[in-house]
Structure 1
Amino acid sequence: MSKQDIAKSIGQKIIVIIGGLIAAYGLEAVLIPNNVSDGGITGISIVISQLTPISLGLLIALLNIPFIYLGYKQIGKTFAINSVIGIASLAIGTSLMHHVPTIITGDALLITVVGGIILGIGMGLALRNGGALDGIDMLAVLLSRKLPFGTSDLILFLNFFVFIIVSFVFGFKGALLSAIAYYIASKVIIIVEEGLSGSKTYKIITNEPLKMVETIRDRLGRSATFNTVYGAYSHQEFQEITCVINRMEESKIKGIIREIDPNAFVTVYEVVEVKGGNFKKQNIH
């Protein structure tokens, strides 16, 4: 590995640790004192810690061991190492922060929103930098290869049973609030991983391909590519335009399409990451 690669690897691990500590703070300062849990292995650990004298940090570390091994076998060594670091920081963080002051009490909605956001930021930072703070995602990835269900469906299914278990300790209200907090955290994770701006790919089939591309270039400063496609029904060749934009430019490109060819066939895809090429927009002023 070059010095640059080593520095990047160390930087990622530091951010994973920070993510674990942030998630720990969300649990100990917001959720757990208000009888609200997390999902996944962390949620099960919280339930057991409420019923036994075993500390939450120790349970998080122990219960995630088989899933770390699973991540090593299914995803790779680097992911497993970063996950060990993340889960260890979460476990240690919950132990060190066990007696921190509770920052919110009473308002159930505010508790779930703030707790979910803090938890999501921590988990998102870990995932964005090649690690994980909970083993249930790894289990879902493995099961998706064995069963005719998607990973997200299996995560939802597995957490359904987790929240049933939570209801025996925190009651139905606590389980419901836990599910809401987990949902909010999952959305925040996506924002942290992808960024607030994000990107989208527009694929446009139009009768005015050259005019469409020129207008996109002149008004948005974006380049585009052509791909020749063949209509199975019409038996005609078309020029399909592919253009990657950020979310703030979406209303503009929709306006351009409506203006030039209201009958254009348009498909839109979410883009997780864009690198290289000429994605950096040109100056249009």
Structure 2
Amino acid sequence: GTDIIAVVVNKYRDITFGRMILYCDIIIILSCYFIFHDWKRVVFGFVTMGISSYVLDWVVNSTRQSVQFLIFSKEYAKIADHIVSDAHRGVTVLDGTGWYSKQGMKVLVVLARKSQSISIFRLVKEIDPNAFISQSSVIGVYGQGFDRLKVK
């Protein structure tokens, strides 16, 4: 039953599903002390709920994890075209300058789901095996193709 409360609160507030379940379970566990008068059960309940809330958040949010790619390649146009057509992701092209070489280059910026990382790496490697790629985790990506922006 606490999951229904968590879903409703998560929809309207910026509190994760797992954290809201944790808050509800804390209230339930603390109220159990008044029935059993046993602190061991309360502590065991807290440990169990803490672990399950962490795991639940990890499972629910793992599908929403996003990554950012910075791709440096002379074949930037071909790579960008294939990312848009094959991976169905947007690409931003930036002008960059290598400080060591003092050479101008184009830098591709791609935001994608973590589950698409391997296919993007393969796509880039097929086109330009010498491309330089930086991948970093992104905490939140909001907009078309990602999460809806919640303003509360």
| Band the TM-score falls in, shorter-chain normalisation | 0.5 to 0.7
Q: Is the 8 A contact 2:9 2:20 kept in 1?
A: no
Q: Does 1:93 align with 2:28?
A: yes
Residue number in structure 1 paired with 2:4 = none
- Residues of 1 paired with 2:66 and 2:81: CA distance? 21
Q: Does 1:259 align with 2:123?
A: no
Residue number in structure 2 paired with 1:232 = 99
Residue number in structure 1 paired with 2:61 = 195
Partner amino acid, structure 2, of 1:196: S
Deviation at residue 216 of structure 1 after TM alignment: 0.6
Superposed CA RMSD = 3.2
Partner amino acid, structure 2, of 1:119: G
Normalising by the residue count of structure 1, what TM-score does the alignment of the two structures yield? Answer: 0.38
Gaps of 5+ in 2: 1-7, 42-46, 147-152
Partner amino acid, structure 2, of 1:248: S
Change (3 A) 1:233 1:10: closer
Per residue, is there more helix in 1 or in 2? 1
Residue number in structure 2 paired with 1:222 = 89
The 5 Å alignment of 1:27-66 reads none
- Residues of 2 paired with 1:10 and 1:273: CA distance? 16
Residue number in structure 2 paired with 1:21 = 24
Aligned length, in residue pairs: 126
- Residues of 1 paired with 2:125 and 2:11: CA distance? 48
- Residues of 2 paired with 1:10 and 1:212: CA distance? 38
Determine what percentage of the aligned residue pairs are the same residue. Answer: 22
Deviation at residue 120 of structure 1 after TM alignment: 4.2
- Residues of 2 paired with 1:97 and 1:246: CA distance? 42
Partner amino acid, structure 1, of 2:28: G
Gaps of 5+ in 1: 1-6, 23-89, 103-113, 123-184, 281-285
Q: Does 1:274 align with 2:138?
A: no
Deviation at residue 21 of structure 1 after TM alignment: 2.7
The 5 Å alignment of 1:136-155 reads none
Q: Is the 8 A contact 1:244 1:279 kept in 2?
A: no
Per residue, is there more strand in 1 or in 2? 2
SS in 2 for 1:222: coil
